[in-house]
Amino acid sequence: MTAYFAFFGDNSALLAELTLGHVLLSVAALLIAIVLAIPLGAWIGHLHRFSFLVVNVGNVLRSLPTLAIIAIGIALYGFGDINITVALVILAFPLVLTNTFTAVESVDPGTVEAARGMGMTGWQILTRVELPSSIPLIMSGIRTSWVYVVATAYLATFAGRQGTLGDIISNIEGYDLAGVLAAATISIVLAFLGDALLGLAERALTPTGLRLAQRVRTTGPIAEPAPAPAPAQA
Amino acid sequence: MIGSPTQVIPIFEGPQCAPDATFCWDWFTANWGTLLGPSLVQHIYITLIAVVIGLVISLGAALVAFSRGWFASGFLGFATFLYTIPSLAFFLMFVPITGLSLTTIEIGLTSYTLLLLFRNTLTGLRTVPRSAVEAAEGMGLTPNQILFRIRLPLALPSIMAGIRISVVTVISLATVAASVAPLGLGKPIFDAIHTLFSTELISAGVLTILVALAADVVVVFLQRLVTPWTRTARRTS
């Protein structure tokens, strides 16, 4: 236990450097996944077509074991940044995709009709009606993806990419269990911290009307259990 | 790396292998019976053990949590915490207690299933249609009978969805576990990461992906088998 606490003090510079590297890699992977997944999911959800395709692509990608992708990547395109980034993007992408798609597709058809009746174009309906209403579910996908990515980014070390907490976590001979646990602790804190920050972003982004509607629904007189916070990955 | 073989000697029995070939089919067939096949079987049972134990714990916990809100939020917080621990650190944490063994791996893998299985089971129990519960009350069933005979069966679709996610999650994490105790398809993966033998990297990687995809299909099949009513309902609605 003493060794564990001492590790933070003795190696603070190293830990700070690796933590920063860990965060940057995770954020980069998550951003790439978001940039790819949200437009695709939103567009297909808007069209109300190809849902079969999105669901199946999401399920297949979600099944891919990260270390297997890294291993195949080493054989095909070598060690380094590309290898680990591809693996982490594949980890984060399906969840953001399916959540965005589900959210946009399940926007109340009456609301969409009303928007169309007001003369909005398809693009306006998507950006001003469907996407704002979808923010809570999209953000919940992003938050869960962040937790996955940050907890998995240490595999970078096996993909030959130095400079993440994986340098310590995978090197128990060099740093002892105390070091491994210290690095793991930071990784856990990063997961919760990022989740909390994204939660704040979610609150800021959610349109006021939607927030009010949610409040009424959850605290209203009908004490029906809140509708399944849809097992995001299911 | 703890537990990984001190010396890695890939078996080059395929005589037709060029040293720089990306993938050599001869090596694959030569090593299927001795290395890849057994690792694959091992990987499947490592996964099965973790998911079955995780399911037993989660079902029990969810049944307790159903009527006790404090236990529900407590267990959920605990399971969420476990889920955020980087898997390798989790496996290493138990090495001083349970050694470089299957037990160590299973403790870690089982812990990772708890969040998915517990949350889905509890959600399933809680979102049973009110009408079904009221009908059961009208027939004079006690609260316990309602829980076990009405709510639990009706929660099956949600429970099966949880099993589906946890199976693919465990298959993925079990590869990492091989760096602690050399078992399953992770063993050839880590061997090959050290030797940079690309045929072995691809063989083991692709086999792991195939196991995951196959497992996903099997669970979906089981899901349809045990919850036939969900399909009928969808068709009629």
CB contacts of B21 in chain A (<8 Å) are none
Q: Where are the domains of chain B?
A: 39-185+227-236
Task: Report the distance separating Cα B83 and Cα B114, nearest Å.
Answer: 8
Task: Report the distance separating Cα B180 and Cα B174, nearest Å.
Answer: 10
Residues B140-171: tens digit of each pLDDT: 999 999 999 999 999 999 999 999 999 999 99
Sign of CA dihedral B205, A142, A47, A127: negative
Range 199-218 of A in CB contact (< 8 A) with B? none
pLDDT of residue A152 exceeding 70: yes
Question: In this structure, is residue A231 part of a structural domain?
Answer: no
What pLDDT score does A18 carry? 96
Range 81-120 of A in CB contact (< 8 A) with B? none
Residue reference for tokens 């306006």? A124
Residues B215-232: tens digit of each pLDDT: 999 999 999 999 888 777
Among chain A residues, CA nearest to B202: A72
Question: In this structure, is residue A226 part of a structural domain?
Answer: no
Residue reference for tokens 């693009």? A123
Sign of CA dihedral A19, B4, B2, B114: positive
- Interface test mutation site (partner A, options B80, B209, B218, max chain A beta carbons within 10 A): B209
Question: Strand locations in chain A, DSSP E?
Answer: none
pLDDT grade for A233, boundaries at 50, 70 and 90: very low
DSSP summary character for residue A66? H
* Token output for B227: 């919850």
DSSP summary character for residue A159? T
**Contact by Cβ (8 Å): B116, B166:** yes
Residues A73-99: tens digit of each pLDDT: 999 999 999 999 999 999 999 999 999
- Say if A224 is an interface residue toward chain B (CB within 8 Å): yes
Distances in whole angstroms, Cα of residue A53 to Cα of each of A59, A62, B221: 10, 14, 19
- Say if B3 is an interface residue toward chain A (CB within 8 Å): no
Range 110-169 of B in CB contact (< 8 A) with A? 116, 119-120, 123, 126-127, 130, 158, 161-162, 164-165, 168
Does the beta-carbon distance from A66 to B201 stay under 8 Å?
Answer: no
Among chain A residues, CA nearest to B162: A234
Question: In this structure, is residue A16 part of a structural domain?
Answer: yes
Range 7-66 of B in CB contact (< 8 A) with A? 22-23
- Percent of chain B scoring above 90 in pLDDT: 72
- Locate all alpha helices (DSSP H) within B102-155, ordered by sequence: 102-126, 130-138, 143-145, 152-154
CB contacts of B92 in chain A (<8 Å) are 172, 177, 180
What pLDDT score does A1 carry? 77
Task: Report the distance separating Cα B100 and Cα B82, nearest Å.
Answer: 20
DSSP summary character for residue A78? -
Task: Report the distance separating Cα A86 and Cα A93, nearest Å.
Answer: 10
Helix/strand/coil percentages in chain B, nearest 5: 80, 0, 20
Out of A9-23, A142-156, A201-215, B53-67, pick the least confident: A201-215
| Structural domains counted in chain A | 1
pLDDT of residue A220 exceeding 50: no
- Locate all alpha helices (DSSP H) within A206-228, ordered by sequence: 208-219
The mean pLDDT of chain B is 89
Task: Report the distance separating Cα A50 and Cα A208, nearest Å.
Answer: 31
Task: Report the distance separating Cα B151 and Cα B124, nearest Å.
Answer: 8
pLDDT of residue A139 exceeding 90: yes
Does the beta-carbon distance from A192 to B172 stay under 8 Å?
Answer: no
Q: Specify the CATH number for the domain of residue A58.
A: 1.10.3720.10
- Percent of chain A scoring above 90 in pLDDT: 76
What pLDDT score does B11 carry? 55
Residues A186-197: tens digit of each pLDDT: 999 999 999 999
Count Cβ atoms within 10 A of the Cβ of residue A171 and give its class: 0-12 exposed, 13-18 middle, 19 or more buried: middle
A54 — alpha (psi -120 to 50), left (phi > 0) or beta?
alpha
Closest CA to B219 of B159, B154, B149, B150: B159
CA B118 to chain centre: 14
pLDDT of residue A234 exceeding 50: no
Task: Report the distance separating Cα B80 and Cα B111, nearest Å.
Answer: 10
Task: Report the distance separating Cα B201 and Cα B198, nearest Å.
Answer: 5
Task: Report the distance separating Cα B219 and Cα B179, nearest Å.
Answer: 27
pLDDT of residue A184 exceeding 90: yes
Residues A11-43: tens digit of each pLDDT: 999 999 999 999 999 999 999 999 999 999 999
Residues A37-64: tens digit of each pLDDT: 999 999 999 998 888 888 899 999 999 9
The complex scores an ipTM of 0.86
What pLDDT score does A219 carry? 44
Distances in whole angstroms, Cα of residue A108 to Cα of each of A212, B35, B215: 16, 54, 35
pLDDT of residue B25 exceeding 90: no
pLDDT of residue A229 exceeding 50: no
What pLDDT score does B41 carry? 95
pLDDT grade for A223, boundaries at 50, 70 and 90: very low
Residues B65-98: tens digit of each pLDDT: 998 989 999 999 999 999 999 999 999 999 999 9
pLDDT of residue B172 exceeding 60: yes
Burial track A110-140 (b if 16+ CB lie within 10 A, e otherwise): eebeebeeeebeeeebbeebbbebbbbbbbb
What pLDDT score does B20 carry? 73
Domain that holds residue A74: 2-219
User: Which CATH architecture group holds B39-185+227-236?
Assistant: Orthogonal Bundle (1.10)
- Interface test mutation site (partner A, options B97, B176, B187, max chain A beta carbons within 10 A): B176
Range 1-40 of A in CB contact (< 8 A) with B? none
What pLDDT score does A214 carry? 67
